[in-house]
């Protein structure tokens, strides 16, 4: 079974109304927001990555989903698999640092031991008075994204041994959840989500959840100077950036010609119909074979 097939099958189980049909980044129970993300050695991080960075990434990936709902973190529940003492101790130190820096204290969790690949999980709880959904975009809305796209994908190549700048490696190992930006945006957007699996696949998910079509101008996608110096600026490098994932930027829909209250780039728009299309210099472009990361 693929990830998408499994989640589709879960939709046939008894679902709480706050799950929004498992078509949002998080569950909404009153003003409380619940989200969970897991990370697995060899899948989400490399065995040689520093344990403190693994802890950071586990918390940050979850808080990114809270950011997309405009939430303030309340606390986190940790699911931890013990392995080697050195890793476990360094993870603990890194988690303490991450909880303090990101203002998210522990509520509890569970601990097991495994001899297999390390699998870690975290459930983050937040509070948001007016959480936007992933599925609220309407035909005529513009599509916007914060920051730059593709840095973490390049950082993974650097973590695997390519020469490259520390800033790209840091984007991969220490993503920054955009909590303040999410809170500033929440009351203005018609839809919001974070970019975890890749800009193209996540934009397609926002359009699907909203019952709209979305189109993206590939040339408008913001790339950092560090990335273009590292990977060039070609159609292929732009497509690689837009499908790499691990960006943890905020993707949002905004009505008409409104300007967002935080720094962001307009990259496309929503229309009637269904599906994702991309274009460059006014001409339609073929979609790449893979739109982003999928656990298939």
Ligand X SMILES: Cc1ncc(C[n+]2csc(CCOP(=O)(O)O)c2C)c(N)n1
Residue 151 lies near ligand ATP (rule: CB under 6 A) = no
Residue 197 lies near Mg ion (rule: CB under 5 A) = no
DSSP three-state, residue 163: coil
Cβ-based nearer residue to ligand ATP, 2 or 234: 2
Please list every residue from 249 through 268 that binds ligand ATP, using CB under 6 A.
none
Residue 53 lies near Mg ion (rule: CB under 5 A) = no
Whole-number Å distance between alpha carbons of 108 and 123: 10
Let me know: does 141 contact 254? Beta carbons within 8 Å.
Answer: yes
With CB under 6 A as the contact rule, the residue among 53, 181, 197, 202 that binds ligand X is: 197
Cβ-based nearer residue to ligand ATP, 190 or 196: 196
Residue 156 lies near ligand X (rule: CB under 6 A) = yes
Q: Which residues contact 272 (CB under 8 A, 6 or more apart)?
A: 139, 212, 213
Q: What is the 3-state secondary structure (H, E, C) of 183-206?
A: HHHHCCCCEEEECCCCHHHHHHHH
Helix pair 235-244, 151-159: axis angle to 10 deg = 90
Residue 22 lies near ligand ATP (rule: CB under 6 A) = yes
Residue 121 lies near Mg ion (rule: CB under 5 A) = no
Structure tokens at 65: 């989903």
Backbone angles phi, psi at 220, to 5 degrees: -85, -15
Q: Is 196 among the annotated ligand-binding positions?
A: yes
Residue 197 lies near ligand ATP (rule: CB under 6 A) = yes
Site size with ligand X, rule: CB under 6 A: 12
In the numeric block, the tokens 């909404």 are attached to 28
DSSP three-state, residue 275: strand
Residue 155 lies near ligand X (rule: CB under 6 A) = no
Residue 53 lies near ligand ATP (rule: CB under 6 A) = no
The residue sitting closest to ligand X, measured at its beta carbon, is: 245
Q: What is the DSSP string of 23-78?
A: -SSSEEETTEEEEEEEEEBTTTB-TTS-HHHHHHHHHHHHHHHHHTTTPEEEEEEE
Stretch that binds ligand X, among 41-49, 92-100, 271-279, 281-289 (CB under 6 A): 41-49
Tell me the β-bridge partners of 103: none
Pairing of the two strands 275-280 and 213-217: parallel
Q: How far is the CB of 142 from ligand X (least distance, A)?
A: 25
220 binds, among Mg ion, ligand ATP, ligand X, none (CB under 5 to 8 A by kind): none
151 binds, among ligand X, Mg ion, ligand ATP, none (CB under 5 to 8 A by kind): none
43 binds, among ligand ATP, Mg ion, ligand X, none (CB under 5 to 8 A by kind): ligand X
Residue 246 lies near ligand ATP (rule: CB under 6 A) = no
What residues are designated binding site for ATP?
109-110, 134, 196
Residues lying near ligand ATP in the complex (CB under 6 A) are found at 7, 10, 22, 24-25, 37, 61, 65, 196-197
Binding site for Mg ion (CB under 5 A): 25, 37, 65, 194, 196
């Amino acid at each position: 079974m693929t990830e998408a097939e499994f989640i589709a099958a879960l939709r046939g189980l008894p679902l709480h109304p706050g799950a929004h049909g498992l078509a949002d980044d998080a569950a909404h129970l009153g003003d409380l927001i619940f989200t969970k993300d897991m990370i697995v050695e060899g899948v989400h991080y490399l065995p040689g990555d520093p344990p403190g960075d693994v802890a950071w990434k586990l918390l940050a990936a979850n808080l990114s989903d809270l950011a997309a709902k405009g939430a303030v973190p309340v606390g986190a529940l940790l699911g931890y698999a013990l392995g080697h003492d050195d890793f476990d101790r360094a993870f603990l130190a890194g988690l303490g640092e991450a909880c303090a820096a990101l203002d998210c204290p522990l509520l509890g969790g569970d601990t097991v031991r495994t001899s297999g690949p390390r699998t870690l999980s975290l459930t983050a709880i937040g509070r948001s008075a007016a959480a936007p959904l992933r599925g609220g975009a309407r035909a005529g809305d513009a599509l916007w994204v914060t920051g730059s796209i593709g840095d973490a994908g390049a950082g993974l190549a650097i973590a695997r041994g390519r020469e490259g700048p520390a800033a790209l490696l840091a984007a991969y190992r220490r993503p920054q959840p955009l909590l303040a930006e999410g809170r500033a945006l929440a009351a203005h957007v018609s839809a919001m989500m974070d970019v975890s699996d890749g800009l193209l696949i996540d934009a397609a998910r926002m359009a699907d959840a909203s019952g709209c079509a979305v189109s993206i101008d590939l040339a408008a996608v913001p790339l950092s100077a560090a990335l273009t110096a590292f990977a060039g600026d070609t159609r292929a490098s732009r497509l690689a950036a837009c499908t790499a994932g691990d960006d943890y930027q905020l993707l949002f829909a905004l009505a008409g010609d409104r300007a967002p209250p935080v720094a962001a780039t307009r990259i496309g728009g929503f229309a009637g119909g269904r599906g994702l299309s991309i274009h460059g210099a006014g001409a339609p472009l073929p979609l790449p074979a893979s739109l982003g990361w999928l656990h298939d």
